[in-house]
């Protein structure tokens, strides 16, 4: 059976054409699936009965299976979603409600292959890329669970429960480019979720060629996981820097701004005590990014078992932030949300059946991705 959640508008139209159906039928089904959250063809009342019968025989609308659903005292909600029914594989999706927005943080891979030294997700290994249905399915599932799906025939121009989506969960989104782009197109499609490009953010550790491809295909807001002001330090913290050093990364950021829906890049910076949090580091950071309109999202490190890094003191974090802000650069400190259900930054937990073979001797433990939940998403 073909899972229709795997199709964006273009590919769904092409698939319908193979069935001998006209393009408007694809748009109808797209609305029922995504805007109305329907998974039963029989409920698609404006679709011809003959087509509904044909779809029931050849296709399905299969969202992710919820293994666990947890809510925090502050309203944060976290779902553990099984992947293909594999016991060793699960991803997590987190919803963060705030006064003027609702942000959903979603994953793009089962595990991660980039091996950032401060990130426990990378230490869990890598299994595979998520399919388009598994990426957009996280938004589809969250809308249904939050009661946020629209009702046919009713004006849906009001406020959205989920107004922002950030691809900052498990995995490197740009390493799963085609499936991520298909999901992004659905997020933006008026027949699906109709989100603004300004309110959809992709986070990357710096895959330069893919950043250029994203700029040309579906430019959305961009967040770059920077974490160090020099190549020598970033080579240690973010190994992909050895392939795409800071000079190339900064040039790619400038190119991206040519098509970006925002006039700035967000730089994510995990503060590690005694490693990258000194006054000199802050000043080097300003020098590195001085030609790039940007905002900084500072993330005090959340320790996890087996890590050698420490969280800096609140005073050190505040002083680092002040150096940036005194240079008239916006710098926010990511606040903790959902800590009582392990949904805070650095606590996006899941399990991975590792296929990278580099962790054969390491026992499976909960995952803690320090780049997991983006709580500073700009309107």
pLDDT band per the 50, 70, 90 thresholds, residue 355: low
Non-local CB neighbours of 337 within 8 Å, separated by 6+ positions: 72, 74, 76, 96, 343, 344, 373, 375
Token pair, residue 326, equals 């005194």
pLDDT digits (tens, 9 = 90+) for 223-236: 999 999 999 999 99
Token pair, residue 123, equals 């230490």
What is the predicted pLDDT for the residue at 262?
A: 93
Q: Does the reported pTM lie above 0.85?
A: yes
Q: Is 306 left (phi over 0), alpha (psi -120 to 50) or beta?
A: left
Catalytic sites, residue numbers: 92, 345
For 58, 59, 64, the CA distances from 4, given in Å and listed in that order, are: 10, 7, 13
Q: Which domains does the chain have, with CATH numbers?
A: 2-60 (1.10.150.530), 65-341 (3.20.20.70)
* Distance of alpha carbon 211 from alpha carbon 239, whole angstroms: 17
What DSSP string runs through 296-327?
A: EEEEE----TT----PPPHHHHHHHHHHHHHT
Least confident of 31-40, 44-53, 333-342: 333-342
What is the predicted pLDDT for the residue at 368?
A: 33
Q: Is the pLDDT of residue 340 over 70?
A: no
Choose between 278 and 68: higher pLDDT. Answer: 278
Element (H or E) spanning 255, and its range?
Answer: helix 246-256
> Residue 132, Cβ neighbours under 10 Å: how many?
24
Q: What helix, strand, coil percent values describe the chain, rounded to 5?
A: 35, 20, 45
Distance, CA of 137 to chain centre: 13
- Contact by Cβ (8 Å): 84, 130: no
Q: Is the pLDDT of residue 108 over 70?
A: yes
* Distance of alpha carbon 59 from alpha carbon 47, whole angstroms: 15
- Contact by Cβ (8 Å): 60, 4: yes
Instruction: Tell me the average pLDDT across 361-369.
Output: 35
What is the predicted pLDDT for the residue at 276?
A: 97
């Amino acid at each position: 059976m073909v899972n229709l959640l795997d199709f964006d508008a273009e590919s769904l139209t092409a698939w319908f054409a193979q069935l001998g159906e006209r393009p408007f039928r694809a748009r109808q089904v797209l609305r029922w699936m995504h805007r109305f959250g329907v998974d039963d063809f029989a409920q698609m009342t404006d679709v011809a009965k003959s087509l509904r019968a044909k779809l029931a025989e050849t296709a399905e609308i299969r969202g992710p299976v919820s293994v666990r659903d947890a809510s925090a005292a502050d309203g944060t909600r976290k779902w553990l979603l099984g992947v293909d029914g594999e016991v060793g594989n699960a991803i997590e999706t987190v919803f963060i409600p705030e006064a003027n927005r609702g942000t959903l943080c979603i994953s793009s891979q089962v595990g991660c292959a980039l091996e950032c030294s401060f990130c426990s997700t990378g230490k869990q290994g890598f299994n595979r890329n998520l399919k388009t249905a598994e990426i957009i399915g996280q938004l589809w599932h969250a809308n249904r669970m939050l009661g946020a799906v629209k009702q046919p025939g009713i004006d849906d121009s009001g406020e959205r429960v989920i107004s922002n989506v950030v691809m900052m969960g498990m995995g490197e989104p740009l390493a799963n480019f085609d499936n991520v782009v298909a999901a992004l197109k659905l997020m933006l499609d008026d027949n699906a979720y109709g989100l603004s490009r300004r309110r959809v953010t992709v986070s990357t550790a710096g895959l330069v060629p893919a950043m250029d491809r994203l700029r040309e295909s579906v430019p959305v807001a961009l967040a770059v996981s920077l974490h160090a002001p020099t190549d020598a330090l970033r080579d240690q913290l973010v190994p992909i820097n050895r392939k795409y050093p800071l000079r190339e990364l900064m040039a790619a950021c400038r190119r991206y701004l040519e098509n970006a829906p925002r006039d700035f890049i967000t730089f994510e910076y995990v503060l590690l005590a005694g490693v990258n949090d000194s006054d000199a580091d802050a000043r080097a950071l300003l020098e590195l990014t001085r030609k790039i309109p940007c905002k900084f999202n500072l993330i005090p490190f959340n320790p996890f078992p087996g890590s050698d890094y420490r969280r800096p003191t609140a005073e050190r974090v505040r002083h680092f932030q002040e150096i940036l802000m005194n240079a008239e650069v916006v710098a926010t400190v990511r606040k903790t949300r959902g800590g009582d259900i392990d949904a805070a930054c650095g606590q996006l937990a899941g399990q991975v059946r590792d296929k990278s073979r580099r962790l054969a001797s390491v026992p499976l433990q909960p995952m803690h991705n320090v780049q997991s939940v983006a709580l500073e998403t700009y309107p």
